[in-house]
Structure 1
Amino acid sequence: MRYTPKSELDQRVAKLQALLKKQDIDGALIIQNADLFYFSGTIQQSHLFIPAEGKPLLMVKNTFERAVEESALDNIVYVDSLREILPTLQSHGFSGFKTLGFELDVLPANLYFRYQELFRPAKVVDASELIRTVRMIKSEYELEILREVNTVQAQLFPYISANISEGMSELKLAAMIEAFYREKGHPGLMRVRGFNTELHQQHVVSGSNTIPSYFWGAVGGRGVGPAYAQGASHKLIGRDEPVLVDIGFNVGGYSLDQTRIFCIGKLADHLTQAYQVAIEIIEQIKQMAKPGVPCGKLHELARQIADASPFANHFTGYPNQLTFCGHGIGLEQDELPVIGYKFKTPLEPGMVFALEPKFTFPDGAVGIENTYLVTQDGLETLTVFDEGIQYV
């Protein structure tokens, strides 16, 4: 069992407090699970109050005993309802609020209105960008966990090569992957921040199962039906077609993102050529990516390379193309930074992001995805495995 050390929680809280002071926000109330875990070490049903100055207060409704066991914070108390939040804060010396920050990017509207009423006349403001900015830079503790992820993740691809077979359904392969990972401790879930976005631990599509879906990714997939319309389907895996496996193992809540292409037989020329363009994008971005380079410049370079190839219309999706080719990752699959044309955020040491140049065609999807750490000298690859097409 892994518990987040108090020294780690203290550092995270201090970073958020510095940003709260800078924005003249009296404090932040955190309830979203990923953020709650990041700052408190537990996801038991709670409100975590982080004041601009002073020690944080974790107010737990369910389950108090587990929260005390899991969290290294000093101040943990039980509360029975939302109505007790303000009196509890006041009893611990927190009052006279002018502004309170909430995770308004994910907070349901009905809760937003309740908090407005509960804390009136304080102004409810959005602290989600501040929270995500703190989480964007990974600590040595987090990097140690992420490197541990790769030690397990790298074992999966040889397992797939040894067990994939012609005539096997995508769902069968997906089930085998899940069994492999679950036995090694994967919780079976991945966290995402977006509204109406579900994400399984792996994305398996083969051949013509590349149809677009509601899922905001380069490769959709039919899924098992309209209710869950993405990813693996009942389609049988055939010869001479790409099998795209987009996967992440999870250790202590943290995951990496990695994609490799498998093939039983031989791929068509346009698919192998497009794959080489993806490799070129990866290599050139690795040369450019240094601290201070805006994230948008990386996407611009990827787009230039794709546009110079015969496959420009298939880059990051077909027929609809995405406006990004990479995303931050850690506790959630869609963290900051975003490698997209709108994002001017400069790279900083400690950022971790997945870069995924992919090309989607009616007869298959090809590409590669690795997760990288930004260091003072450039990028360190965290997902280490053979980057060629995995022929079986």
Structure 2
Amino acid sequence: MHIQTHATESGQDLYPADRLHTAREAAARAGLDALLISPGADLRYLTGYDAKPLERLTCLVLPVDGYPFLLVPALEEPAAQASPAGGLDMEITGWNETDDPYAVIAARLPSSVARVGVDNHMWAEKTTAFHAALPGARQELAGSVLSGLRMRKTPQEAGALRRAGEAIDRVHARMGEWLRAGRTEREVGRDIADAIIAEGHVRVDFVIVGSGPNSASPHHELSDRVIQPGDPVVVDIGGTTQDGYCSDSTRVYAVGEPPEEFRQLHDVLLHAQIAQTDAVRPGLTAEQLDAVGRDIIADAGYGEYFIHRTGHGIGLESHEEPYIVSGNRLPLEPGMAFSVEPGIYLPHRYGARIEDIVICTEDGGDRLNRTGRYLVVLP
């Protein structure tokens, strides 16, 4: 076993200073007077600060008219200053334990503020406190402003996603070290989790090892089931790198020779997934891409067993916009990054899912995961 290390982009490259200006302009177009952004992916996207989600308020205040500032608990101020946020043209202010941070923010915003955008994952207790501090301001979701920015990755973000994809590919390439009959899913999952860190991530986001009938449950995760000879095994794994960007990839294995019917099922799925990744291009809508694989699977008689969307966006979060699903008429654009992961699940028998991360380019799609998509039969 070895630990992989890679040079990361500088904070200035991944979290450029002009994002605050861009977000302010987008908020103005949406008719908002300010954005209030608490710890999470939106805050990191805008400032590079990976803040701890605490009961104490941390909040980026981005007025449409006025100077942005980051209010943090006093004990977190050194960490905020040391992050890429410390290099931005923005005030970072610490508040003390006896202060009311909501009142501090309300006092610094213009009295004319009528509409504020709060980040989509702000805790309810914090949105309630802001409502009390700003009773005249209507709260709306900042995601309507920020998701459009976050969906289109910069070349630097694409590079971070590529490194994440390479890191998770290295874990899949080692699956033969751990996956064998006689071991439990949980035992295999612990080894995989260790490898996710060893191969270049700083956090394990999820480990799914679904063997035999458990492979028919898309989000099964882990159990104490002992893997049996001939079992199909779905392995869906992902983590977060030091850059803050996520990986996510699913491959299907068999421990010994699987049933012939399962091979046929996997062949259909492989055909559908390849067709979908090959179909990615600007202008194609999310629902059209979903239909490419769904139609192939339905024509083979498995349509009712493809029970989820084709994919989800990925970046600073494992799941973000755009979502590749029927009903989403959003056209794909260069820079959009998302999973392509059709699946077929026969209840109580077995299932399969193949997943790659793809970035839409100017003339097609760039598949970031390079391990083989064929069924891997392990001894």
Contact conserved, 2:202 with 2:239, CA < 8 A, in 1? no
The 3 A distance-change label for structure 1 pair 14 and 384 is farther
2:11 is paired with a residue whose SS is coil
2:213 is paired with a residue whose SS is coil
* Per-residue Cα deviation, 1:240-259 (whole angstroms, up to 9, x for no partner): 11111111242122112111
Contact conserved, 2:215 with 2:233, CA < 8 A, in 1? no
Structure 2 letter corresponding to 1:257 = D
In structure 2, which of residues 364, 370, 373 is the aligned counterpart of residue 384 of structure 1? 370
| Structure 1, unpaired ranges of 5+ | 191-199, 213-218, 222-230, 316-320
Residues matched between the structures, number: 359
In structure 1, which of residues 52, 77, 80 is the aligned counterpart of residue 96 of structure 2? 80
In structure 2, which of residues 299, 321, 339 is the aligned counterpart of residue 336 of structure 1? 321
Q: Please, which moves more after superposition, 377-386 or 41-50? A: 41-50
Return the TM-score normalized by structure 2.
0.88
Distance 1:6 1:65 in 2: 22
The 3 A distance-change label for structure 1 pair 391 and 38 is same
- Deviation of 1:19 after TM superposition, in Å, equals 1.6
Structure 2 residue 122 is the aligned partner of structure 1 residue 131? no
Contact conserved, 2:215 with 2:352, CA < 8 A, in 1? no
Distance 1:144 1:383 in 2: 13
Structure 1 letter corresponding to 2:101 = E
* Per-residue Cα deviation, 1:361-382 (whole angstroms, up to 9, x for no partner): 2222212100000001111011
Contact conserved, 1:256 with 1:383, CA < 8 A, in 2? no
Structure 2 residue 267 is the aligned partner of structure 1 residue 276? yes
Structure 2 letter corresponding to 1:337 = P
* Per-residue Cα deviation, 1:176-202 (whole angstroms, up to 9, x for no partner): 111112234533343xxxxxxxxx2x2
Distance 1:339 1:66 in 2: 37
Equivalent residue runs for 1:1-392 within 5 Å: 4-5=11-12, 8-45=15-52, 46-61=58-73, 62-70=75-83, 71=85, 72-74=87-89, 75-80=91-96, 83-88=100-105, 90-91=107-108, 94-103=110-119, 105-190=120-205, 200=206, 202-210=207-215, 212=217, 219-221=218-220, 231-251=221-241, 252-315=243-306, 321-322=307-308, 324-361=309-346, 362-392=348-378
Distance 1:187 1:64 in 2: 23
Q: Cα RMSD over matched residues?
A: 2.2
Distance 2:200 2:373 in 1: 26
* Per-residue Cα deviation, 1:113-147 (whole angstroms, up to 9, x for no partner): 22111012122222222222211111112111111
The 3 A distance-change label for structure 1 pair 48 and 3 is farther
The 3 A distance-change label for structure 1 pair 384 and 56 is farther
* Per-residue Cα deviation, 1:210-249 (whole angstroms, up to 9, x for no partner): 465xxxxxx132xxxxxxxxx1100111111111111124
Distance 1:152 1:166 in 2: 26
- Deviation of 1:283 after TM superposition, in Å, equals 2.5
| Structure 2, unpaired ranges of 5+ | 1-7, 53-57
Structure 2 letter corresponding to 1:144 = G
Distance 1:380 1:185 in 2: 21
Distance 1:109 1:162 in 2: 45
The 3 A distance-change label for structure 1 pair 157 and 185 is closer
Divergent runs of 4+, >6 A: none
1:77 is paired with a residue whose SS is strand
Distance 2:165 2:124 in 1: 38
Contact conserved, 1:49 with 1:57, CA < 8 A, in 2? yes
- Deviation of 1:89 after TM superposition, in Å, equals 6.4
Return the TM-score normalized by structure 1.
0.85
Contact conserved, 2:102 with 2:130, CA < 8 A, in 1? no
Structure 2 letter corresponding to 1:56 = P
- Deviation of 1:6 after TM superposition, in Å, equals 7.1
